[in-house]
Amino acid sequence: MNLRLRVRILSIVLPMLMLSFPFGASAQDIAAGEKLFKANCAACHKPVGNLVGPQLSGVAAKYASDKEWMYSWVKNSKALIDAGDPKAVALYEQYNKQIMSLFPTLTNEESDNILAYADDAAAPKEPTGGPVVTTQDPLADPTIYYGLLALVGVLLLIALLLVIITATLITAVRAKEQQEPFRIADVVAQVQLILKNRWVVTSLAVLLTVGGLGKWIAEARTISLHQGYMPEQPIKFSHKLHAGTHNINCEYCHSGVTKSKSAWIPSVNVCMNCHKYIQQGPNYGTEEIGKILAAYEENKPVEWVRIHNLPDHAYFNHAQHVVVGGLECQTCHGPIQEMEVVYQYSDLGMGWCVSCHRETKVKHLGQETDMTVEDMGGLNCARCHY
């Protein structure tokens, strides 16, 4: 075989071998798969552990030799079941005869990306970073002002104690020298003389003014701040179970968080996406889920009690912070995935927001820059008050 013929054969065979080589999913595939998973699959599947349907990690390996069947199942599982396909019927029977949602527009590549994300999410990860740290305005803590008042009280007690000790010593000295005994009237006269001293009067006035203003400021700074507020809800909904144990993404229920000023409270229909099939919970049995079913049957909304409230004169946009700023829900709402009953984690006061704008680095194309939100005009009054 001559050299020219060998080169021609290699030029044909090598590209074919490269195309058939099982390359792993790239980081971009996994990122795209995560978005697709959250948008289409998170209501019924988890990367690890069964939900309404089976876990998705390991599915790619399970059907590696029969990918075409897997793609057909994803696009139209009902057609396979109606046709009597043995594998489709077995899955249908195994998961309580629940028809999987149809995804006819989902491409094969997108299905692969979703499964790549599921496998990546299931893989053990090295711990990164510590707990969520939220910035707090030190002057918003009323204990500072109460401490000031306590200090004034202690100083007054010390002064009174010194007066008593002095009077006792004077009485003892006079008794020893057989002089006229010490009288309370003398003390009163001395106190009157002291109180007439302009420096003493000025000092007392300053202390009382500072103490009074301190208490007034401490109380004023708590107006419209409800840190720790935890109202009773009409249905005992556990974020720890849904966002923690079942790992349901926040955006699935609060779908306005990436596109609106408000995060939106989920409607009963959103709840029914899962609870049409899951009608008994691990904590309260059928009691609480029954309230959702009753609301659905009566076509009435669940009257949830709002927890996080900002003053009317303050403007806040969820989409701006989540999409543009890239903030996680836990930055403001704390470890929501650990809360059995949700409460207001941060005080959401002006000082708290300003501190965050001063310290948070701006991201550009996913990369952190040296600029802070303050450098971008984030402390301009009109940004939040207009």
Average pLDDT along the chain, 386 residues, taken 10 residues at a time? 50 48 53 84 79 82 88 88 88 79 86 88 61 47 72 86 81 78 72 82 88 80 82 94 92 92 93 91 91 95 92 91 90 93 91 91 80 90 89
* Residue 253 and residue 357 in one domain: yes
What is the domain count for the chain?
A: 3
Same domain, 249 and 367: yes
Residue 36 structure tokens = 């697709």
Same domain, 50 and 184: no
281: β partners: 285
Which of 191, 220, 249 is at the close of a domain? Answer: 220
Question: Does the residue 232 lie in any domain?
Answer: no
374 and 243 within one domain: yes
pLDDT, tens digit, 9 for 90 and up, residues 226-274: 888 999 999 999 999 999 999 899 999 999 999 999 999 999 999 999 9
The reply to whether 8 falls in a domain is no
Sorted by sequence, the CB contacts under 8 Å of residue 144 that are 6+ apart come out as 138, 214, 218
**pLDDT of the residue at 319:** 94
pTM for this model (two decimals): 0.52
One domain, residues 215 and 266: no
Question: Are residue 110 and residue 52 in the same domain, yes or no?
Answer: yes
Q: Are residues 258 and 151 in the same domain?
A: no
Name 348's Cβ contacts closer than 8 Å, sequence gap at least 6: 225, 226, 227, 308, 310, 332
Q: Crossing angle for the helix pair 67-82 and 86-94, nearest 10 degrees?
A: 70
State the sign of the Cα–Cα–Cα–Cα dihedral 93, 94, 97, 99.
Answer: negative
Answer yes or no: are the C-beta atoms of 100 and 79 closer than 8 Å. no
Q: Roughly how many angstroms between the first and final C-alpha of the chain, as a whole number?
A: 82
Residues 243 and 376 in one domain: yes
| pLDDT tens figures, 38-84 | 878 876 788 887 777 788 888 888 888 888 988 898 888 888 888 99
User: Same domain, yes or no, for 296 and 181?
Assistant: no
Report the pLDDT value the prediction gives residue 297, as an integer from 0 to 100. 94
User: 349 with 298, same domain?
Assistant: yes
Q: Residue 59: give the domain boundaries.
A: 24-122
Q: Which string of DSSP letters, residue by residue, matches 45-111? A: --SSS-SSS---TTHHHHTTT-HHHHHHHHHHHHHHHHTT-HHHHHHHHHTTTPPPPP-TT--HHHH
What's the angle, vertex CA 368, arms to CA 363 and CA 369, rounded to 5? 90
Instruction: Determine the pLDDT at residue 219.
Output: 77
Nearest to 140 by CA among 212, 225, 208, 210: 225
